[in-house]
Amino acid sequence: MKAKAKSAGAQPILAIDSEVVRQIRQHARSCNTTEVCGVLIGQDRDHRVEVAACIQGENAEGAGAHVTFTQDTWEHIYAVKDKRFPNERIVGWYHSHPGFGIFLSEHDTFIHKNFFSSPGQVAWVFDPHSDEEGCFGWTDGQIERLTRIAVVDRRGGERAEASVKDEPTVASTAEENAGPVPSSEPSPKPLRVQRLDVDDGDGGRSSLEQLVARVFFFLASAALGFVLCWQFFPHVVVMGVPIDPTTGQPLDPEMRQMLHDSQAGNAGNSEHPDLTKPGQPAAPDGRAKKGDDAKSR
Ligand SMILES: [Zn+2]
């Protein structure tokens, strides 16, 4: 067993609380150009490192690719640890690599060898530019990148149970209460989810349809109103009339006549155009009559 553990389980398993991961990310993003650092708090048992909390390394000297735990940093870390985590251990450290990826530099390796040399101590690295993260630990006296990392969601205990409840309907691994329940429980659950989805979809679709319908209704009513106004209210119609440039009179004889009539009407009484009309339109006739008269004379 021991030999097997040495060969297969040489690399420690890391179980880190999701809240710690979140806090490290937050700390790293607070200084987007300089490295930040801190220590990891938890337990280390049988090749399993459990990280339950972290302490920010204040007064740490971060300069580009270097971060250094100063005397002040350690004093602050131990003060916080003694006060808040008296029964926990320092199981490693974390620092940020703003923009240069996940690895341990020579300086980082120096820090790890000198301050975190216990086999159960790890080095967590987070790049706030790429949101990449990784962890390094001791494997047979060498520092290697860990391949077995579990992010534990402690607050999500209920969520984990919920996911387990969902799983048995598909998976064959029946958990404690999966036996009697599945026939009644799984059917309403997906239905409820489906209903929610459908409701959401319908809501989104109907609101979009309503918007489109409103816009069309508005445009249609505006067009109808325009047509009605055009029909029932007086308006000026501008028409192109071909005009003889030499005389300034319309080329079309009918138009000339109409223009003539309207001018005559405007000049006289507009309400009784008939009274003035006889004089003008009768002109040709009058001339003819005159001619006749003259002839007769
Ligand atoms: Zn580094």
CA of 44 to the centre of ligand 1 (A): 23
DSSP one-letter code for 220? H
CA of 28 to the centre of ligand 1 (A): 12
- Residue 110 binned pLDDT confidence (cut-offs 50, 70, 90): very high
CA of 107 to the centre of ligand 1 (A): 7
CA of 135 to the centre of ligand 1 (A): 12
φ/ψ of 174, rounded to 5, equals: -80, 125
Give 97: exposed, middle or buried? Use CB within 10 Å, 0-12, 13-18, 19+. Answer: buried
Measure the CA–CA gap between 204 and 210, rounded to whole angstroms.
10
What DSSP assignment string belongs to 252-285? SHHHHHHHHHHHHHHHS-SS-HHHHGGGTTHHHH
CA of 41 to the centre of ligand 1 (A): 19
CA of 167 to the centre of ligand 1 (A): 40
CA of 8 to the centre of ligand 1 (A): 28
Instruction: Please tell me the pTM assigned to this model.
Output: 0.51
Does residue 289 surpass a pLDDT of 60? no
> What is the torsion angle, in degrees rounded to the nearest 10, for the CA atoms of residue 20, residue 22, residue 24 and residue 30?
-150
The predicted-structure confidence for 249-264, as pLDDT tens digits, reads as follows 777 777 777 767 766 6
CA of 98 to the centre of ligand 1 (A): 9
Please report which residue ranges of the chain form alpha helices under DSSP H.
Answer: 2-8, 18-30, 71-84, 106-115, 157-166, 188-232, 253-267, 273-276, 282-296
pLDDT score at 182: 38
Measure the CA–CA gap between 170 and 164, rounded to whole angstroms.
10
CA of 34 to the centre of ligand 1 (A): 11
Q: How is residue 268 written in tokens?
A: 């006289």
CA of 97 to the centre of ligand 1 (A): 6
The predicted-structure confidence for 148-198, as pLDDT tens digits, reads as follows 999 998 765 443 333 333 333 333 333 333 333 333 333 333 333 333 333
